[in-house]
Amino acid sequence: MEELDAKYHLLSPGMTVLDLGAAPGSWMKYCGEKVGGRGMVVGIDRSPLSRQTGKNEAFILSDVFLIEPAQIRAQYGEFDLVLSDLAPDTTGSKLADNARSIALCERACQFARAVLRPGGKLLVKAFQGGEFEGFVKFLRESFAGVETTKPKSSRPGSREMYVYARNFKKRAKT
């Protein structure tokens, strides 16, 4: 997270951040420290955190497909940044794993479109493969700028990529 934050200047004091796939909790902790006491980080994961939440953090134990983005917006308001480190349970089949990864990316985008304030940002992990380019193209409909990156911290043979979308320009009707 630190490498991506340094590259894209994702976080600043006072921001509100939604962290999808928050467990074990290292991204939440890093974000909480960066946004400070006036900021807020809300994490969602189907697995519990491995640590206690900080004063400016909230955690929801749930599968992202079982919670509605509008519920999150109603409870916490609009967000400046949505992070998604969601990863599928892999099967070993590149085709199936890519499809599962893209489904999680699309769900993260649904959250972003429902909870981001205008000008907000999205950072999402995805696996390169068949539907990856289509997903990037889809993001360009809602964000002014979209780019992909492979952090130095990713294993060299990994198909893992991050997609950074900035300057959110549309709100989903909910």
129/12: higher pLDDT: 12
As a 3-state breakdown, the chain gives helix, strand, coil percent values, each rounded to 5, of 30, 30, 40
Contacts (Cβ under 8 Å, ≥6 apart) of 170: 113, 141, 142
**Topology of the domain comprising 2-168:** Rossmann fold (3.40.50)
Rounded to whole angstroms, how far apart are CA atoms 47 and 28? 14
More confident residue, 49 or 89: 49
pLDDT of residue 98: 79
Measured from the Cβ of residue 11, the count of other Cβ atoms closer than 10 Å reads: 24
What is the domain partition of the chain in residue ranges? 2-168
Residues annotated as catalytic are 125
How far is it, in rounded angstroms, from Cα 136 to Cα 152?
Answer: 21
Ranges of H-type helices in 15-164 = 26-35, 69-76, 94-115, 132-139
pLDDT of residue 170: 63
pLDDT of residue 27: 94
Q: What is the pLDDT of residues 115-130, one digit of tens each?
A: 999 999 999 998 887 7
CA 118 to chain centre: 16
State pLDDT tens for residues 142-174.
999 999 998 887 777 777 889 999 999 966 454
